[in-house]
Structure 1
Amino acid sequence: MYDLRWPTASNFVYLFAASGISLVSGLWVFNRFDGDLAEEL
């Protein structure tokens, strides 16, 4: 477990990685969804 009470380098790396993964996956899903809508229309 991470101790979020103290802003250490490990916490910043963990949060940066988690936010980056969620952002990339969100953009990937959005691009797939947008492409499917464009093909159907």
Structure 2
Amino acid sequence: MKVRNSLKSLKSRHRDCQIVRRRGRTYVINKTNRRFKARQG
């Protein structure tokens, strides 16, 4: 998992990426290709 300050670029890397907010942090998750993960905050 990468900790980034810009998640918009990571969301555009794969078509199944989703941006999810949990516990005040923003995550990029991908159910089909699990190596595209990132956290912000």
TM-score for both structures, normalised by structure 1: 0.20
| Bigger CA radius of gyration | 1
Bigger proportion of residues as strand: 2
Bigger proportion of residues as helix: 1
